[in-house]
Amino acid sequence: MRLTGGGLQQTRHLASFMRRIRRPVRRTGVGFAATMTDRHDPAAAQFRYRGNALYCERIQLTELARQVGTPFYLYSQNGLEQQFRSFEGAFDDTPHLICYAVKANSNLSILSLFRRLGAGFDIVSGGELMRALRVRADPRKIVFSGVGKTEDEIDFALHHGILQFNVESEAELQVLEARAATARMIAPVAMRVNPDVNPKTHPYIATGLAENKFGIPVRCVLPLYRRASRSPHLRVTGMGFHIGSQIISTAPFVRAAKRVVELVQTLRASRIELRYLDLGGGLGITYGDESPPGPAEYARAFKNLVKDLGCTLILEPGRAMVGNAGILVTRVLLTKKGRARNFVIVDAAMNDLIRPSLYGAYHRIRPLTLRGRRSWKADVVGPVCETGDFLARDRVLPRVSAGELLAVMSAGAYGFALSSNYNSRPRAAEILVHGDRFRIIRKRETFRDLMRGESARYLPSG
């Protein structure tokens, strides 16, 4: 049979679909295609089926959804604690400080939990500093990263006596020095080096390449240290790097660390001693079938390189601490059989979880109740008026029907934190589970919340 263009295309589609269901296919972007293998991950392991029902720790999620409504984010306290402890354990023979990257999930209850476990914080804005202070974080365990700190933010952090400013350019160093001089203070500084290393992740979250806006090029680093060490208003405390996020092998970290360690040694030769070496964040997690190193393997990769430096290590993990300890629960509103595709339309959307739309990220989707039924291939989409509004595309799923509940897995990091009110949708509730108890740690927003600070008056009065 001669294939027409359309027929050929169909055959190709079918062939690629068959390949996809037989073995996992690497996708571009953040994350990989699905497999049904459930790799060991202490945080992910908090979400388990018992009988036909999905549980978080000892809470049955269908029942919880009935009580709190959908959509909602749900976090496992055990999962969060275990991840923190495995990081701590991995570095326990090396002087270190874990500064949780607040941006990954900045809910006060989660920050408070990490603070009680002994974490410091990596912040990137005045708002994040406020949150950290609100949970009574010790300012001497706070590092301030970011390419564009405002004068107000710098003053705020200076007055609270944070551990260090991670400086990303000469211009920023000048502003910091000037603010410290005005306040008659001494600002603690670490230069963030751009080691020009490819982290092999989605281009939007690669930060350590020469073409990225982040960090100071290797050749410019030493003169800046010399300058800083001569200033009466700056105190040189450390050096750091952060090469990107969702990095799933140790190789890029090692490459970056080698370059930075060399710089630390060169500085030492000119009698500029550094107390802290900041290894940044970036360790990836399993969304589909990735097998990133765990904290222990990650720690081992650095230890030999840094052992003779005598520096205290600073770590800034975000995703690896919270990603697999959280899910997004959503209800199926209806299903729709299109001519070219099937759609499962749910009550969560790109405003709740933007990662699939923004990075083409893969998140596993599981039904809250298992029932023997056929599967079909569908896009899981939200009600937002954009074709880019999807949580999953071309996904083989059980044939769910209206009213059923689904869990979007691995949504603890950069889920709620990146959510918005687009389409005037109130943001979802956030819930923390511990054992057989749960607490609403952020209320679902109301219509009133949506309009806070606005006015229906369109002309100045008077």
Closer residue to ligand LLP, CB minimum distance, 101 or 429: 101
Q: Which is nearer to ligand LLP, 281 or 398 (CB)?
A: 281
Query: What is d(CA 238, CA 242) in angstroms, rounded to the nearest whole number?
Result: 14
State whether the Cα torsion 268-272-274-279 is positive or negative: negative
Is residue 101 a contact residue for ligand LLP (CB under 6 A)? yes
Nearest one of 148, 179, 144 to 163, comparing CA atoms:
144
For ligand LLP, which stretch binds (CB under 6 A), given 49-57, 317-325, 366-374, 378-386? 317-325
Q: How far is the CB of 285 from ligand LLP (least distance, A)?
A: 9
Of 29, 30, 357, 362, which one interacts with ligand LLP (CB under 6 A)? 30
Restricted to residues 130-159, the positions that interact with ligand LLP (CB under 6 A) are: 145
Among 279, 274, 189, 276, CA closest to 231: 189
| Binding-residue total with ligand LLP (CB under 6 A) | 24
Look at the block and give the residue holding tokens 């706070």: 142
Binding mask 197-236 for ligand LLP (x = CB under 6 A): --------x-------------------------------
Query: Do residues 145 and 123 make contact, with C-beta atoms less than 8 angstroms apart?
Result: yes
Round to the nearest angstrom and report the end-to-end CA distance of the chain. Answer: 80
Binding mask 330-369 for ligand LLP (x = CB under 6 A): -------------------------x---x----------
286 binds ligand LLP (CB under 6 A): no
User: Judged by CB under 6 A, which of 96, 141, 179, 319 binds ligand LLP?
Assistant: 319
Contact pick of 281, 293, 294, 295 for ligand LLP (by CB under 6 A) = 281
The alpha carbon of residue 320 and the mean position of all alpha carbons in its chain are separated, in whole angstroms, by 8
Catalytic residues: 385
Given the complex with ligand LLP, which of 168 and 404 has the nearer CB atom? 168
Binding to ligand LLP by residue 414, rule CB under 6 A?
yes
Residues between 244 and 263 with contacts to ligand LLP, criterion CB under 6 A:
245-246
Distance in Å, CB of 62 to ligand LLP, minimum: 28
| Binding test (CB under 6 A) with ligand LLP, winner from 282, 288, 294, 398 | 282
Tell me: does residue 122 bind ligand LLP (CB under 6 A): yes
In the complex, least distance from residue 408 CB atom to ligand LLP, rounded to whole angstroms: 13
State the minimum distance, in angstroms, from the CB of residue 315 to ligand LLP.
9
Give least dist CB 98 to ligand LLP, A: 11
| Interface pick for ligand LLP out of 320, 332, 344, 432 (rule CB under 6 A) | 320
- The residues that touch ligand LLP, with contacts defined as CB under 6 A, are 30, 101, 103-104, 122, 145, 205, 242, 245-246, 280-283, 316-320, 355, 359, 413-414, 418
